[in-house]
Chains A and B, each alone.
Chain A
Amino acid sequence: MAKVLVVTSGKGGVGKTTSTAALGAALAQMGEKVVVIDFDVGLRNLDLVLGAERRVVFDLINVVQGVAKLSQALIRDKRLENLWLLPASQTRDKDALTDAGVGSIIAELRTRFDWILCDSPAGIERGAMLAMRYADEAVIVTNPEVSSVRDSDRIIGMLDSKTVKAERGERVEKHILITRYDSGRASRGEMLSIDDILEILATPLLGIIPESQDVLRASNVGSPVTLNNAASAPARAYTDAVRRLLGEAVTMTVPVERKGLMNRLLGRRAA
């Protein structure tokens, strides 16, 4: 049965789009049929992170308004045949996105995909509300930093009250994904620890993505980090997170960079 998963955070710049691309690609790499939807109308970027920016013809709002069919707007990834993108509009008014329109698109996508990943815009306005509206599960992307944790708490409150599931008296299954984590700084007490964040937010942990240059390198070339450098620490962390989403019990670790000879040996073994 198809699952709708929103990737959200409240705060901007914490890694929602990067995480949507990486999680979507990792799910597709494991054989799941995945569509990622960009809800950031006016400021789309998921196309760029996925390297599909030159292939966008129609977008989410075109489909909502009936200008294009869903099949015309979906862009298939060139590297992963199981991964599709529904881009956001770059120019249109974000009020063109309606609850009913989004609902019917999600309902149609449910019949065709295993996973529907909704990349939420920052903030708590219309786009963010609609991105989470039909979610079955939520990944709350959080940085170990006070403003990000506060905004995550706010978003958790909204997931528990403003979603269709919440209105039916059901629960959206929520997961915390900690990104840009620096274990050295956390152990020196310079950065909120994983335990601090989880205790404050009272929500289970999906994964810990270490701060890494590989993340920037991957978005520079328009390739999800799990595809661009599968042996890198963030890629392994995202892959572990996806295994947990699929119900596997994977021990929680903070993957570290492998270096030199070890890197070669382990890299080959993993390949």
Chain B
Amino acid sequence: MMNLLRLIGGRNASAPVARERLQILLAHERGLRGQPDLLGLLRTEILAAVSRHIVLDPDKVIVRMDRGKHVSTLEVDIEVPNGVEKSLAAVAS
């Protein structure tokens, strides 16, 4: 009966989407509960590691997470100032 009604009103049936989004989100949030802010921690540590070799603007280090049902991606975007090859060469020598 429920499925039949869903078929009839198929276009309006946004509840299954809501349910799936919630299930994915809560699975992640429950795992992270009680732990420190993971993205903040990653950002700080990545910044510290890279800064040992390259002079960086801390505001230009962006860490993003995109959570999927099976796989999540972690994107780290670091803007490196021009002339970095010189400083890299200096480190190497």
Q: Which residues of A contact B (CB under 8 A)?
A: 145-146, 149-150, 153-154, 157, 161, 186-193, 196, 200
Tell whether, in the assembled complex, residue B22 and residue A189 are in contact, meaning their CB atoms are under 8 Å apart: no
Tell whether, in the assembled complex, residue B19 and residue A189 are in contact, meaning their CB atoms are under 8 Å apart: no
Distance from A144 Cβ to chain B, minimum over Cβ atoms (Å)? 8
Hey, which chain A residues are within 8 Å of B26, CB to CB? 150, 153, 200
Hey, which chain B residues are within 8 Å of A189, CB to CB? 5-6, 9-10, 12-16
Contact of A149 among B6, B9, B22 (CB under 8 A): B22
Tell whether, in the assembled complex, residue A192 and residue B15 are in contact, meaning their CB atoms are under 8 Å apart: yes
Distance from A183 Cβ to chain B, minimum over Cβ atoms (Å)? 11
Tell whether, in the assembled complex, residue A146 and residue B29 are in contact, meaning their CB atoms are under 8 Å apart: no
B34 contacts partner chain A, Cβ-Cβ < 8 Å: yes
The count of A-to-B residue pairs whose CB atoms sit within 8 angstroms is 51
| A193 and B19 alpha carbons, distance in the complex (Å) | 9
Hey, which chain B residues are within 8 Å of A153, CB to CB? 26, 29-30
Hey, which chain A residues are within 8 Å of B18, CB to CB? 145-146, 192, 196
In chain A, what residue has the closest Cβ to B7? A189
Hey, which chain A residues are within 8 Å of B30, CB to CB? 153, 157
Query: Interface size of B by Cβ–Cβ distance < 8 Å?
Result: 21
Tell whether, in the assembled complex, residue A186 and residue B15 are in contact, meaning their CB atoms are under 8 Å apart: yes
Hey, which chain A residues are within 8 Å of B16, CB to CB? 189
Chosen A-B contacts, 19 in total, with CB atoms closer than 8 Å, are A146-B18, A146-B21, A150-B26, A150-B29, A157-B30, A157-B33, A161-B34, A186-B15, A187-B5, A188-B5, A189-B10, A189-B14, A189-B16, A190-B13, A190-B14, A191-B15, A192-B19, A193-B15, A200-B26
Q: Which residues of B contact A (CB under 8 A)?
A: 2, 5-6, 9-10, 12-16, 18-19, 21-23, 25-26, 29-30, 33-34
Known: A153-B29, A190-B12, A192-B19. 13 other contacts (CB 8 A): A150-B29, A153-B30, A188-B5, A189-B5, A189-B6, A189-B9, A189-B12, A189-B16, A190-B13, A190-B15, A192-B18, A196-B18, A200-B19
| A146 and B29 alpha carbons, distance in the complex (Å) | 14
| A192 and B30 alpha carbons, distance in the complex (Å) | 21
Tell whether, in the assembled complex, residue B22 and residue A188 are in contact, meaning their CB atoms are under 8 Å apart: no
Hey, which chain B residues are within 8 Å of A154, CB to CB? 29
| A90 and B21 alpha carbons, distance in the complex (Å) | 39
| A190 and B22 alpha carbons, distance in the complex (Å) | 15
Hey, which chain A residues are within 8 Å of B10, CB to CB? 189
In chain A, what residue has the closest Cβ to B34? A161
Distance from A169 Cβ to chain B, minimum over Cβ atoms (Å)? 17
Tell whether, in the assembled complex, residue A188 and residue B33 are in contact, meaning their CB atoms are under 8 Å apart: no
Q: State whether A188 and B12 are in contact (beta carbons under 8 Å apart), knowing that A146-B18, A146-B21, A200-B22 are contacts in the complex.
A: yes
Q: State whether A150 and B12 are in contact (beta carbons under 8 Å apart), knowing that A157-B33, A188-B5, A189-B6 are contacts in the complex.
A: no
In chain A, what residue has the closest Cβ to B14? A190
